[in-house]
Structure 1
């Protein structure tokens, strides 16, 4: 009797396991992921109830006491322990305490490439309770001035290799902004921070300077270049920074991992997820000044890297490298990032070994996040009923690609898309910008992410492909605001109107910029001036590679320039009768796009 009961129980368990695998194949993946999310929430509540808000900086200081000798940053062969970074950042804090009028709550802008001093200055200013604004190190001239003016800093700290960039705009900076350079010899009007650091104290800064009283208080400004206008400063609160630091842990990283960061620290991925994630784990990061496809795997082997951060373009570059013997002889087990195409994903795994690719999605300005915790190829994340109701309320709504706006019915409401159909991602929890009002009922407000997504029948989420080319574009891993490019072109006295959009180029990730231009009456096109205008006022990745000269601009019923047909026509001189031009950096001008030149671009003989 007992034996038959055990046999029946065993058979029942096997059947249940079979049914679970058949009907709910991702049940346990979802279950353990939700347990981690709930665990994070409980930890946050415990911090609040104790009346002691523990920030990312507090966690770093705790590690500096508990494991002072453990390597925190490895950079170009040099090792910086947790204690080293603590002391160096304290020196930064003492310099500003003794030689400036900075006070708690003031904003300080940071213009620096990836290097240990980026972290030292960031943490040193955080120890004073200052809000640090990360400036994109690629921008210059008008965009850089706009970024500085918009965050209203009391000071700006500049890396040694970017002093020429700041020197160009020094006369235009407000008089009350002090400029500090990380170099002994600095231009007139700049204070040498490096010189003062050599004699500064490294004693701990009293916690009273930076203690957080509210998780909603500002911690950082991170500039985003979305779909409209010049770069915008997204406010990162202490809470958002803390949540971002949990990302690596949520994907399974541990304190023993060595994390390779080649992404720029001025982006939230490099700073919040990368540096913040290392601090949450008490782990070590290998920091690279700039990504190098040829050195990537050598670095991974040299420093025993186990986890790296990526964007899709990074993985594609690695796949395009010449194959080498032993290139999958490494210790990398996880990669965390976003934007990798399915075909590149498969090729990457086939070539470089069994690395779990952990895709995620997060809008810097919003508070919605998806994580592909199962490793499903192509998906940016996964959702389910509990996730949507408990954590991140979102919807996918129907979108009119011709009009470049959400579709509304006769009553004025938006509509949900069916599973498998592309829709605009919106989040019920919102910020003050990018809002959609009266979406499903009167008075409701949603955050417009500007991203097109598809949810399949298994509740995996995938990026759409059309919206990026209409409202904005992504090139070289950077978001490009098409209206900003159009505004820069519109400053030329012979251009009446311009319409900027993204076009696909073979073997290139993302979309490169193309501008359709209408000339003013009785004015002629000066291709050399167009070239000088874009390279002067735009970062390299935002400069339109192609120009199209049209006689008139087609617009929608709401007077927006039509883009879909232009996107579909691309830049082929075989399909387009309008004059076409290509950006030639050697000639420092735009040149006619001939069939021969077009063929060279399509074959990859000319690199963009």
Structure 2
């Protein structure tokens, strides 16, 4: 059976929730069983509810969570969610739309592509292409949030988004220069970040496309107009089929050690495997999945959006996560699955208790980075929700799934699991920043319960594709000669421990662990201990350099719960009870809120660089004082005593 709109065969049959997103001059797709929330290219589908969207304008009956294709529709609240429904059956329709559009765009490219390429091999329908089958050409993008121009796509332009730590213009300039981009794609509302660089981009022969309603500013091309003119005919297979599934499908930018973004290579095979992500964790086409993660990262785009397409599920796409709106969204849209990162769950448990927080249909939460204390509180506050904690890296070749919902674990490394996803835990020297090697030069495996560096063998079955650019960018992530001459392992940079039952637990990032008094201190373990105190709402632990001392002293930036004051004696008693002497934070910094990255990770490097000098910091500082058995205010005079050695820490 074929869809009457896009004429794409439906090999998986027709079932409830079927939808087509291909262009339609006549209105919505009327495949049998289509349910409210389905979308067509133009017009409003019959029976569409408050979450439905149309290509332009405000759909009839739209409620607070609705979005239109262009701009923010009247009456919507900031950060409102878009209810989108995608089916595996319509995947070909989505691909056709992307390929045709980009093919049309490519034929309009300025020098160095002075003429339409004889062949255009599309790698993943997103940023990177091979012109004439040989010359690699890449597109970059400027997308720091979910695009307003796409209804249910995995935001093809967002994958090239630069590191949020860089300014927009600098981040755009860097990939254009470093990787020879020939095109830049941006939404209309972010064009102001591109405009200052427009002369430079044109000088480099980089064409700028804007996604959004016209008219476009001078010097740029409207991608939307080209899409309107694109043919609906299927793309020939020789232009749309990769020659090798391990070829690069797209690049996702991650932060490098220098702070500049690195483009991690993602293969066609890895993208296809993401189609089955939600099926692996127990979701189905009947589920409504809530995604509020940035679409320029793998979790939000490939796992979130592509994963929804893979099982034909409904996706609620939130422009920006709001803890206060979350449970209302769940009730309004009938959310059954929530894709999280740990910080989002912490935001939820820190919200004041209110009505309706247990009156929801949420049955499954899947994600990564959930601390055990937040895990417990989440279940206690919000009911019996199955939590599937996972572990993985954008460029990595090892993953874990905690199918059994064992508290605190990221997965289980059983014998069978190691057969298709091998890994090792080796001893790591934090002071040297390298694995410990024996007299023969080989790395040493840790025993059950010991913390070690997670590494994974690089083999044809478990490859590491590396990064775009120089070989040295990829080489620094590899360990060679680990257990035998000539072997190679991917270095995750994460410290893990595996218990006697095989469960694997995340301990810390190597860069987040510091050394004090000859001991290694894991920031996550200290943060978990402090967070158990009721008066503390948020905790960020890091190490700071103190004049006259080797290593780094522990410091915690904390946020107090509303209505609470810092009780130095109570906090002192708490850390003495739950932490060994070397792990107790010597300094406290009280803040109104903790700054986060765009991916909801805590800033540590900047806080560590600011140190603990009260004459340079505006926030209240406290010092652990064993004599008075309390945390006492750190005054400039007291700090002088610390620096001179008169006050020992």
8 Å contact from structure 1 (residues 248, 277) kept in 2: yes
8 Å contact from structure 2 (residues 255, 261) kept in 1: yes
Match of 1:457 in 2: 500
1:424-470 Cα shifts (integer Å, max 9, x gaps): 00011253431111112222211111111111111111111362415
Q: CA deviation at 1:347?
A: 0.4
Instruction: Return the match for 1:581 from 604, 616, 623.
Output: 616
Match of 2:393 in 1: 363
Match of 1:302 in 2: 332
Provide the aligned length of Structure 1 versus Structure 2: 452
Match of 1:224 in 2: 254
Separation of aligned partners in 2, 1:372 and 1:231: 30
Structure 2 residue 266 is the aligned partner of structure 1 residue 214:
no
TM-score in terms of structure 1 length: 0.65
Match of 1:271 in 2: 301
| Bigger shift: residues 355-364 or 138-147 | 138-147
Structure 2 residue 142 is the aligned partner of structure 1 residue 111:
yes
Match of 1:435 in 2: 478
Structure 2 residue 491 is the aligned partner of structure 1 residue 448:
yes
Change (3 A) 1:211 1:88: closer
Match of 1:96 in 2: 105
Q: CA deviation at 1:81?
A: 5.5
Give unpaired runs (5+ residues) of structure 1: 1-58, 126-130, 476-481, 483-498, 509-538, 550-570, 573-577, 583-590, 602-608
Q: For residue 408 of structure 1, give the secondary structure of its aligned residue in structure 2.
A: coil
1:86-126 Cα shifts (integer Å, max 9, x gaps): 6864673464155334732242223332136357786889x
Q: CA deviation at 1:192?
A: 2.4
Q: CA deviation at 1:357?
A: 0.9
Match of 2:432 in 1: 403
Separation of aligned partners in 2, 1:229 and 1:547: 16
Match of 1:506 in 2: 558
Change (3 A) 1:328 1:600: farther
| Bigger shift: residues 432-441 or 454-463 | 432-441
Match of 1:164 in 2: 192
Match of 2:124 in 1: none
Match of 1:338 in 2: 368
Q: CA deviation at 1:188?
A: 3.8
Separation of aligned partners in 1, 2:249 and 2:450: 38
Q: CA deviation at 1:393?
A: 1.5
Q: CA deviation at 1:547?
A: 6.6
| Bigger shift: residues 73-82 or 351-360 | 73-82
Residue correspondence of structure 1 range 237-276 to structure 2 within 5 A: 237-276=267-306
Residue correspondence of structure 1 range 458-473 to structure 2 within 5 A: 458-465=501-508, 467-470=510-513
Q: CA RMSD in A?
A: 4.0
Q: CA deviation at 1:314?
A: 0.4
Q: CA deviation at 1:595?
A: 5.8
RCO comparison, higher one (Cα < 8 Å, 6+): 1
Separation of aligned partners in 2, 1:337 and 1:446: 25
Change (3 A) 1:504 1:593: closer
Instruction: Return the match for 1:285 from 294, 315, 319.
Output: 315
Structure 2 residue 394 is the aligned partner of structure 1 residue 385:
no
Change (3 A) 1:329 1:123: closer
8 Å contact from structure 2 (residues 85, 315) kept in 1: no
Q: For residue 267 of structure 1, give the secondary structure of its aligned residue in structure 2.
A: coil
Structure with bigger helix share is 1
Separation of aligned partners in 2, 1:147 and 1:97: 19
Separation of aligned partners in 2, 1:408 and 1:216: 33
Q: CA deviation at 1:77?
A: 1.9
Instruction: Return the match for 2:378 from 342, 345, 348.
Output: 348
Structure 2 residue 206 is the aligned partner of structure 1 residue 177:
yes
Residue correspondence of structure 1 range 12-31 to structure 2 within 5 A: none
1:337-385 Cα shifts (integer Å, max 9, x gaps): 0001000011011111111111111121121111101111111111111
8 Å contact from structure 2 (residues 141, 172) kept in 1: no
Separation of aligned partners in 1, 2:150 and 2:165: 15
Separation of aligned partners in 2, 1:420 and 1:236: 33
Match of 1:564 in 2: none
Match of 1:526 in 2: none
Separation of aligned partners in 2, 1:452 and 1:293: 30
Structure 2 residue 444 is the aligned partner of structure 1 residue 415:
yes
Residue correspondence of structure 1 range 102-141 to structure 2 within 5 A: 103-104=120-121, 105=130, 106-112=137-143, 113-115=145-147, 117=149, 133-136=160-163, 139=166, 140-141=168-169
Structure 2 residue 182 is the aligned partner of structure 1 residue 154:
yes
Q: For residue 437 of structure 2, give the secondary structure of its aligned residue in structure 1.
A: coil
Q: For residue 506 of structure 1, give the secondary structure of its aligned residue in structure 2.
A: strand
8 Å contact from structure 2 (residues 105, 223) kept in 1: no
Q: CA deviation at 1:545?
A: 4.6
Q: CA deviation at 1:230?
A: 1.9
Separation of aligned partners in 1, 2:340 and 2:156: 27
Separation of aligned partners in 2, 1:548 and 1:267: 27
8 Å contact from structure 2 (residues 165, 259) kept in 1: no
Separation of aligned partners in 2, 1:282 and 1:276: 10
Change (3 A) 1:400 1:462: same
8 Å contact from structure 1 (residues 63, 282) kept in 2: no
1:2-43 Cα shifts (integer Å, max 9, x gaps): xxxxxxxxxxxxxxxxxxxxxxxxxxxxxxxxxxxxxxxxxx
Separation of aligned partners in 2, 1:197 and 1:600: 62
8 Å contact from structure 1 (residues 397, 406) kept in 2: yes
8 Å contact from structure 1 (residues 261, 309) kept in 2: yes
8 Å contact from structure 2 (residues 169, 197) kept in 1: yes
Give unpaired runs (5+ residues) of structure 2: 1-7, 21-28, 40-51, 54-64, 68-82, 110-115, 122-129, 131-136, 465-473, 515-521, 528-541, 543-550, 561-599, 624-630, 635-649
Separation of aligned partners in 1, 2:277 and 2:601: 31
TM-score in terms of structure 2 length: 0.62
Q: CA deviation at 1:164?
A: 1.7
Separation of aligned partners in 2, 1:404 and 1:86: 45
Q: CA deviation at 1:207?
A: 3.9
Q: CA deviation at 1:413?
A: 1.6
Q: CA deviation at 1:176?
A: 1.8
